Amino acid sequence: MAASEQTVANIQWQSQTSKIVIDPEFRDLIQPLTSEELDLLEKSLIEEGCRDSLKVCSDGRLLDGHHRLAFCEKHGIPYRIDIVDGIADRIDAKIWIITNQFARRNLSNFARSELALQLKPLIAEKAKERMLAGVKQDPTQNSSEGETREELAKIAIVSHDTISKTETILKKGSDLLKEAARAGTVSVNAAAEIVELPLATQDKIVKSDKQEITARAIKAYKKQEKRKQTKAAFESYKAPVEMDRVLKWAKLLEGESDIDRLEKLSDGNDDLNCNPRPYDVWFYNGSHPLFGREGYPGRIPGQIVLQLLYFFTQPGDLVVDPFAGGGTTIDACAVMGRRCLAYDSEPETCAARADIKLQDAIEAIKSLTTVGSSPRPDLIFLDTPYFSKKDKEYGNHSISRLNRTEYLKFFSDLAAAAHETLNKGGHVALLMSDYIDEDNPDEEIFIEDYIDIFKKAGFRRTRRIHCDLSTQQIHPDYINKFTDNKRLAILARDLVIFSLA
């Protein structure tokens, strides 16, 4: 008979305790009371007497009422004893004691699950006994681990997820964490997060914020810990040769998955948040020092390139940047484990970085198809000058010196070369703003114009991702000028992705 079905019989009054036996094993099955709970119990017994009877087995072993018995004896308070029927052996008694507690006290979910878990071996033992006795097995008594958990969850009135989390907390939790979970000051969900941390850290968290330990706070804590570990790994990495930070990161992240690379880069570098942004808006306030040459005109945030690589390439892919400038793409490719070929038309730009080859963009792209064994790019990234913007800052060979017709012709040739060279299944990514000149509308070039050019060359526009500039990138004097003249400055910038049509 299950403990919950057992009836209470043979009610009798008793004034002495000689027949009551305290079985330590039974006593220890009872969840301990806090000192406040004990005080309250003692007070209520003195004021109101012992209203509920103590429960014993037929052989006098106490099943329920250990604390009440002690206080009643201490203060000479009379009490009743009820004998619980249907307890055949010690296992039955234990099951009764555990099950009885669910009804008796206001227990936290953790405490309920913990109690239910104590039933687990007892239920199994009972099933074994039945089997040995040749009793036909009840299928629920011979259940799998998952089914047992489900059964325990029903008894404890919690979800089976709470049961399995409680099991983990009991196995791996610090004493302090378990105590807090038992008292309900830390929820089972929060404790399940904390339990993954070292024991000393678990204690630190429990002590730090007894009032409210939210899952978010724990995540932040974990993140902070991870950051420390990643930073320490980076700082303690002993490179075989002198290496700059980018190469050191590339070496450290070798063999990691894309997602781990981005997470570790974010963790290990101050002010670098480059976790994947699965939306078509990638806004970054500024460049990060890890990527590209500091101060290079038109240098873009490396985070944009990281996102581009994450969403549009695979590890080991070949990326070509024919307008390499400060080398942002090269650095982003290094830390993401992509191969990169980079070119620029300006001798000074190439002299500053040995990994940028001096070559005109179109020639460079074409050169990749002329030799049979030459690798075809999986991504061609085009961060060109935006028509004549910055024409003073780039050198004499820059397309920013071309007039509108020449500039657009250059783009048609560029698109044709890219079409000829790109790997099937690859992408061209063009980072571009509208060029607006309200005084000379004939000079204007819009992103739609570039899209038309690429379509004519045989491409399909697949995505248009907003990568707006920040207001910080515009000189305050310009902003004043625009405001006074009632004109809008251009912050809108798009990364247009093309694939072969």
Ligand X SMILES: C[S@@+](CC[C@H](N)C(=O)[O-])C[C@H]1O[C@@H](n2cnc3c(N)ncnc32)[C@H](O)[C@@H]1O
**Where on the chain is the footprint of ligand X (CB under 6 A)?**
292, 296, 298-300, 322-323, 325-326, 328, 343-346, 349, 360-361, 383-385, 394-395, 398-399
Q: Least separation, in Å, of the C-beta of 260 and ligand X?
A: 25
Q: Which residue's CB is nearer to ligand X, number 221 or number 411?
A: 411
Q: What is the 3-state secondary structure (H, E, C) of 404-446?
A: HHHHHHHHHHHHHHHHHHCCCCCEEEEEECCECCCCCHHHCEC
Contact 107, 115 (CB under 8 A): yes
Q: Which residue's CB is nearer to ligand X, number 117 or number 356?
A: 356
The residue written with tokens 């307008």 in the block is: 323
Q: Least separation, in Å, of the C-beta of 296 and ligand X?
A: 5
Q: Which residue's CB is nearer to ligand X, number 230 or number 313?
A: 313
Q: Which residue's CB is nearer to ligand X, number 190 or number 430?
A: 430
Q: Which residue's CB is nearer to ligand X, number 18 or number 472?
A: 472
Q: Least separation, in Å, of the C-beta of 159 and ligand X?
A: 51
How many angstroms separate the CA atoms of 486 and 444, rounded?
19
Q: Least separation, in Å, of the C-beta of 300 and ligand X?
A: 4
Q: Which residue's CB is nearer to ligand X, number 267 or number 321?
A: 321
Report CA-CA distances (Å) from 449 to 95, 406, 408, 414, 478.
78, 14, 9, 14, 26
Tokens encoding 339: 């191969």
How many angstroms separate the CA atoms of 399 and 404, rounded?
10
With a CB cutoff of 8 Å and minimum separation 6, the contacts of 359 are 322, 343, 344, 345, 367
Q: Least separation, in Å, of the C-beta of 265 and ligand X?
A: 17
Q: Which residue's CB is nearer to ligand X, number 45 or number 342?
A: 342
Q: Least separation, in Å, of the C-beta of 328 and ligand X?
A: 3
Please give the torsion angle defined by the CA atoms of residues 245, 250, 256 and 262, in that order, rounded to the nearest 10 degrees.
50
Tokens encoding 173: 């939790």
Q: Least separation, in Å, of the C-beta of 402 and ligand X?
A: 9
Q: Which residues pair with 460 in a beta bridge?
A: 499
Q: Which residue's CB is nearer to ligand X, number 56 or number 469?
A: 469
Q: Least separation, in Å, of the C-beta of 492 and ligand X?
A: 16
Contact 177, 206 (CB under 8 A): yes
Cβ neighbour number for residue 16 with a 10 Å cutoff: 7
Handedness of CA 135, 136, 140, 146 (dihedral sign): positive
How many angstroms separate the CA atoms of 91 and 79, rounded?
27
Q: Which residue's CB is nearer to ligand X, number 65 or number 298?
A: 298
Instruction: Give one word for 273, left, alpha or beta, with left for phi > 0 and alpha for psi -120 to 50.
Output: beta
Tokens encoding 219: 């995540």
Q: Which residue's CB is nearer to ligand X, number 109 or number 345?
A: 345
How many angstroms separate the CA atoms of 450 and 430, rounded?
9
Q: Which residue's CB is nearer to ligand X, number 110 or number 343?
A: 343
Spatial strand order in the sheet of 54-56: 8-14, 79-84, 54-56, 62-64
Tokens encoding 301: 């945030």
Q: Least separation, in Å, of the C-beta of 450 and ligand X?
A: 15
Q: Which residue's CB is nearer to ligand X, number 269 or number 384?
A: 384
Q: What angle do CA 225, 227, 230 make, to 5 degrees?
A: 110
Q: Taking Cα atoms as reference points, which of 290, 273, 337 lies closest to residue 309?
A: 337
Cβ neighbour number for residue 13 with a 10 Å cutoff: 9
Tokens encoding 26: 């039974």
How many angstroms separate the CA atoms of 237 and 253, rounded?
11
